[in-house]
Amino acid sequence: MRSTEHETASGDRNERFELGYRRILTIAVPIMISNLSTPLLGLVDTGVVGQLPDPAFIGAVAIGSLIFTFTFWAFGFLRMGTTGLTAQALGAGDHTEIRANLGRPLLLALALGGLLILLQDLIRSGALLFLEASPQVESLAGEYFQIRIWSAPAALANYAILGWFVGLGRTRIALVIQLVLNLTNIALDFAFVTGLGWDVKGVALGTSIAEGIAALLGLAIAARHLRSFQPAPDSLKRVLDPGRLRHNLLVNGDIMIRSLALLAVFIWFTAQGARSGDVILAANSILMQFVALSAYFLDGIAFATESLIGRAVGAKLAGLVRLTAKQTTRLAAGIAVLIVALFALGGSLAIGILTVDPEVRAAAHGYLLWAVFAPLAGVWCFQLDGIFIGATRTVDMRNAMLLSLLIFAGAYWALQPFGNHGLWGSLYAHYAARTLTLLAFYPGLVQSIRAKMK
């Protein structure tokens, strides 16, 4: 084993560089392509309702989508935890655990999705009360919510399926599923909103149908793919093994707390925009599409990092862990610079396309630079997230995000006099806090990996 590690971490530097990047991009590029369709979906949602002559429609879709984005993000462990654990099982060659790492999150996804449907009235009323939008926006957002909530089991199952395929490094399959979901959603948006005039209800119905179709497709592909992993006589028993269930729940619990802390930041960001009026809410919603676009591109490298780090940890290849961390970070930084350049060149044009309202256009231009440079502010913490998820160092991720939430709150309080500029500044402070806190925990991650290699 030590000889293999030495060979991985040594040899001709240029050869290692090329081979390393080829391996990373094989996993990352399909994720980037599929992720590209996700922010494009948000842009289409905004653009379709933006053609209606009232900014309340943009605000309603922003609020309605936000409620589900944040609600589902709270269960993001179904994707992240599944990726790390599956990748480690793959690296260790444990076929039974690979199969179990699909079964456990799918069962949990169905249970949690059903619970969200049962609690829909509480979730809707609580979210709208907190966000404090105008009466018209709240009414339209409520209509969106009542339709979209029924897709919760399918949406959460998609998280688990995506995490499983990413953990296996089979990102081309993940690409197919995500493209089916997002392209179907885009087509239905145009059909229901532009064609049938169903405004925000059409957007919600299109998204719900698309999520159901993607979940069925993902399950069908996963069922066929499971045949490549030989089932053990105790496969079902392994899925329900109390010790492994407990470990999964601990990992998922840490990620859930971490996700809730992250959600609190973005909920607060949107809520403050809503309190500033429909124009600022709509402008921030448009600019956050830029932020989402950059994040999904950078997540392509982060997802590859999760898979490769997890596989290296499972196979006990310390040299490959270090090499993967270095090369993926270099790639991510280069991509962030390219995105900043693209935003700087095309940001004004994109704003003009996304809304016809002159007040919203003017407000969005006033805060455009914050969105332009967001990729450089966020790339470092995204990349560290990928490393920590792959190593399943979820306690550190939880603690780092809780500390970052406190720093964000302090920054917002200090920057309040600067209005919406201060709000964006506090978001940048949160990016910096996430990076610095994870860096502080990084030596502990390295030590834990070395202990596993012995």
Cα 283 from Cα 419, distance rounded (Å) = 14
Residue with tokens 């309202």: 357
Tell me the mean pLDDT in the region 374-385: 95
What's the confidence (pLDDT) of residue 382? Answer: 94
Tokens of 182: 């997002």
Q: Are 259 and 77 in contact (CB under 8 A)?
A: yes
Q: Tell me the average pLDDT of the chain.
A: 83
Which pLDDT tens digit goes with each residue over 309-363?
888 888 777 677 788 888 899 999 999 999 999 999 998 999 988 888 888 899 9
Q: Are 432 and 380 in contact (CB under 8 A)?
A: no
Q: Residue 12 burial (CB < 10 Å; 0-12/13-18/19+)?
A: exposed
* Residue 335: half-sphere exposure toward Cβ, Cα within 13 Å: 25
Residue with tokens 């350049």: 341
Tell me the mean pLDDT in the region 49-67: 72
Give kind and range of the element (H or E) at residue 450: helix 419-453
Burial 126-162 (b: 16+ CB within 10 A, else e): ebbeebebbeebbebbbbbbebbbbbbbbbbbbbbbb
Q: Are 130 and 271 in contact (CB under 8 A)?
A: yes
Query: Which of 207, 181, 135 shows the shortest CA–CA distance to 35?
Result: 181
Tell me the mean pLDDT in the region 359-384: 93
What's the confidence (pLDDT) of residue 432? Answer: 97
Q: Are 276 and 50 in contact (CB under 8 A)?
A: no
If DSSP codes are grouped into helix, strand and coil, which group holds residue 134?
Answer: coil
Q: Write out the residue range of the structural domain in which residue 373 sits.
A: 2-453
- Cα-to-chain-centroid distance, residue 220: 23
Greatest mean pLDDT among 19-33, 185-199, 260-274, 427-441: 427-441
Cα 177 from Cα 161, distance rounded (Å) = 9
Which pLDDT tens digit goes with each residue over 187-245?
888 888 777 877 788 888 888 898 999 999 999 999 888 877 766 666 666 777 777 77
Which pLDDT tens digit goes with each residue over 115-148?
999 998 898 888 777 766 677 777 777 888 888 8
> How much of the chain exceeds pLDDT 90, in percent?
33
Residue type, 28: A
Cα 427 from Cα 404, distance rounded (Å) = 10
Tell me the mean pLDDT in the region 96-119: 90
Region for 317 from its dihedrals, namely left if φ exceeds 0, alpha if ψ lies in -120 to 50, beta otherwise? beta
Which pLDDT tens digit goes with each residue over 390-411?
988 999 999 999 999 999 999 9
What's the confidence (pLDDT) of residue 16? Answer: 35
Cα 88 from Cα 392, distance rounded (Å) = 9
Cα 26 from Cα 17, distance rounded (Å) = 14
Residue 6 reports pLDDT greater than 50: no
Q: Please state the length of the chain.
A: 454
* Residue 142: half-sphere exposure toward Cβ, Cα within 13 Å: 15
What's the confidence (pLDDT) of residue 4? Answer: 40
Q: Tell me how many domains the chain contains.
A: 1
Which pLDDT tens digit goes with each residue over 145-197?
888 899 999 999 999 999 999 999 888 998 899 888 888 888 888 888 777 87
Tell me the mean pLDDT in the region 88-105: 85
Cα 5 from Cα 322, distance rounded (Å) = 10
Residue 28 reports pLDDT greater than 90: no
What's the confidence (pLDDT) of residue 231? Answer: 64
What's the confidence (pLDDT) of residue 232? Answer: 61
> How much of the chain exceeds pLDDT 70, in percent?
87
Residue 259 reports pLDDT greater than 80: yes
Cα 403 from Cα 243, distance rounded (Å) = 30
Cβ neighbors of 371 (< 8 A, separation 6 or more) are 287, 288, 290, 291, 343, 347
Residue with tokens 């960001």: 269
Cβ neighbors of 446 (< 8 A, separation 6 or more) are none
Helix spans in 240-373 (H): 242-275, 278-315, 318-354, 358-366, 368-372
Residue-by-residue DSSP string for 103-163: HHHHHHHHHHHHHHHHTHHHHHHHHHHHH---HHHHHHHHHHHHHHGGGHHHHHHHHHHHH
How far, CA to CA in Å, does 234 sit from each of 230, 231, 249? 12, 8, 21
